[in-house]
Structure 1
Amino acid sequence: MIEAVGLTKRYGDKTAVYNLSFQVRPGAVTGFLGPNGSGKSTTMRMILGLDNPTAGHVTICGHPYDKLPNAPRQVGALLDAKAVHGGRSARNHLLSLAQLSGIPARRVDEVLGVVGLHEVAGRRSKGFSLGMGQRLGIAAALLGDPQVLLFDEPVNGLDPEGILWVRNLMKSLAAEGRTVFVSSHLMSEMALTADHLIVIGRGQLMADMSVKDFISHNSADFARVRTPDSEPQQREKLSAAITEAGGHVLPEQDGALRVTGLPLPRISDLAHDQDVRLWELSPHQASLEEAYMRMTQGAVDYRSTVDQKEGLQQQLPPGAQPSMPVPGQGQPGWYAPPPPQQGGQPFAPPQAAPAGPYGAPPAPARFTASVEAGARMNPMPAPASAA
C-alpha cells in the first residue's frame, strides 16, 4: 500500500504539491488524474524517493522508499521510458538492472516474453519505436516481480493492440492483490482500466473515490425523450406534463427533449397517461471525460484564447484565481485541503489521512501468467544477500 500524509513540495516560491493525503490500496487499479502542471509527476517522484518532500511524508508498505529492503524487488515503476542507454540491447539493459538488484538472469527473458520484445531482445534500444520503448520500460518495472507498481502514462505511443494489452496487464496485476498506481491523461482508457481515482489540481487533492462515484458526483444525468417528429403537439403536451410533475425539460437541436428530475419509469407513465407515443426514452450518464472536465475546469493553467472566444472554455478575468470545485463534500473518500500558504510558511500536516471506500483487499499473489507471449513469470528465489 502507498500512503501519503500532508505531502508538500515547494521549489523556491512555487508550491508544486500542497498538503496532499491519500492511500493507494492493493487489489485495485488506482488512476491518478490531474491537468498538466497539477503535481502528478512530482508526487510520483516523491513516492519513489527521487524528490524529498518539503513537508509531510509518503510510505510504501509502511516504509519510506529508501528504507525498503531491496526496494527494486518490492516496487516497480515506469516514469520515463526513454531513460535507457541507447547503445544497449533490450536484454542487456534489463540484465544490468537485474544484476544490481540480485535478480536471477532468467527473469530477464521471462519479462521480455511478457511484454512481447523477446524477438528483438538483441537489438539496441536506440532503434526502438516509442511503443517498443514503453514495453521495455514496463518490462523493467516487472523485473523484480514487485507487489507495488507505479506507471506514468504507460500507453503512450502504443497502438490499439498494445493499449488493450496494457489494460489487461494492469487489471491482472491488481487482481493478484498488487498495488497498481497509474497516471494518465487518457480518460477513455482510465474509465476502462481504473477502479478508483485520485484527482489533484494545482497540487491539491480534489477527489478520492471510485470511478462510479466520481462520475455521479461530477455530472448531471438526464433522460433523452423523443416523440414523433410529425406531431409536435405531442412533444408540447408531454413537456407540460413533465414540468407539472416536477421535472425539468430542455429541448435539444434534433427535436428530442432532455429531462432531469424524474426517473425513466415516471416519464414513461406520464407519456402513457397523456396518450403520447415515444420514439425514444433512454438514460444518459456522463462519461469519465465529461465528469473530469467539469471538475477540473477551474484548475487548468493553460487555456486556449480561441476556445474561450468560441465559448468552449470559461474565460476568466485577468488575474483572477479560478475556484476549485469540491463535488462530493461529505461523501466517503472526500477530503478538503486548506488553501496553499504563500512564501513557504510553516506547514501543519493533517491529523489523519482519510481512508478510501475500499473493502478488504485480496491476499497478495505472485504474477504467474504471461499476458501476451505465453511466457510464465515464476516466483523467484530470494538472493542470498536478501537473507
Structure 2
Amino acid sequence: MIKNRLLIFGGMLFFGHLSAQTVVASDQGLRNADPRLRRTETYQAYGVKSPTDSTAFLRATYDYPSPTERVDVNFQYDGEVWVPQSRFRYTFDALQRITAFNSETYDASTKQFVPQARQQTYPHGNTQQNDSLLSYNWSLTENKYVLTLKQTSTFNSKDQVKEINNTVSISGQIFRIKDVYSYDSNNNLTRTESFTYLGELAMKSSFTKYTYTNKLLSTSTTYTAIGNTDSIPQAQLTNRYNGLGLLEQTESFRWDFVSMTWSKSSSTIYGYDAAKRILFRETSVVNTGQPDQRSRAEFFYNKDGSAKYDVNYTFDTNAQAFKLDNKRFYFYDPVSSLRDLPTPFKPLILYPNPTRGPLYLKLQDKAQVQVFGSNGQMLQAIVLNPGQVLDLSSLPAGMYQVLAKEGTEFFGSKVFKQ
C-alpha cells in the first residue's frame, strides 16, 4: 500500500511538467473515443517451436455502458484460460474529458474484483485543465477509500495554469507541494518552479526551463534547487521536428557530475505516413559499459484509420538485428462506415461553423456520428446523445464531413475547423 501511494505521489509531482512535453500516443485505438473497439490481444514467444507459432499473453476488453462511460478489463493467459487481472472504469463529460476513474484488482481466491484506487477530476471551463483533482486509495484496514492526494489549480486571465497546489497523504503524514508556472508574450510555458512546504514555509526544490523553436517545444531542462539562489542541473529533454511539425526525435540527458557535462540517457525516433499517423517508434537506452538497450514498435492501420495491430521488437546484440517480441491485435464491432451506406443524407444542422473544436449537432435522439477528412479517411467515430459535444480539437485546420445515423435516418454536413 505504501509503495502504491509513493508511486501516485511521485507521478503527481511531475504532472504539471508533463503538459509541456510533446507526446506521441502509441495506443492509437485505446485513446480513440470509437465505441467499436472491443478488445485487444497480445501474443509473444514467436518462433520458439516453429517460425510462425506464438503464445497468447495479454488480453484487454472494452465495454461502453453509455456514451459517457467505458470499462476496461485486463487478462493474462495462464496456458489454459484467460485470468482477469484488473478492471478500470472511466466516466467522461460532454467534451470527452475524464471526470471519474476507478481501478480494481482481481482476487483469485474470491474470484471477484476488489477496490484499489479511484480519482475524481473537475475540469476547468472548456479547457483540458482541471480546477481540482482528488485521488483515493483503498484501505484494507479501514475498509474504505482514503484520500491520498488533493490537487487544486489557479488560472490567469488567458485560462493558463498559474499555480497547482498538491496536498499528499503518505502513511498518515501530510506533504504539501506547489508548482508555479510562467509564460512568455507568445503564451508559451517558459518555466515551472516546484516548492515543498516545511510548515508554512515554501522551499524551492526544483525548477524546469522550456525553450521553443517555431512555437514547438525544443528543450526542457530541470534543475535541483539549492537554497533560493543556487542550483545544479538534473535532467534535460530535447525535441526535434520534421517539416510538418511532427515530433521526429527526442533525446534525454542526465547531468554527469564527474565530467560536469550532459550525458545522453536515451533517444527515440518516430516515423509517420502521409496521413500523419505514427508508423514506428524506435528507442535506445544507454547502459554504461554495456550495449545500448534498443526497442522498436511498428503500427498498422485499417482502411478507416483505426488501429489494426502493433508489432514490438527488441534488439539482439549477438545477432545485431531486431528480434520480434510481441504483437498486439485490435478487434472491433463489425460496424460499417456511414459513408459506405447507399442511403441519401438529410442536412445535418451543426454549429458553430467554422469551429475551433467543440461542435454541437442538432439531434433528437442518440446517434452514431462519424467524421471524415478530405481524403475520405474516417477520423472519428462516436455515439452522441442530444446536447453532447463533438470535439474536433485534435484535428488540424481544414474541411471535414460529419455524418450521423439517428434511428433509421441519415444526416450529413461539412464543417470547417479553424
TM-score by length of 1: 0.23
Structure having the higher Rg: 1
Q: Is the helix fraction higher in 1 or 2?
A: 1
Choose between structure 1 and 2 for higher RCO, CA contacts under 8 A separated by at least 6 residues: 1
Q: Is the strand fraction higher in 1 or 2?
A: 2
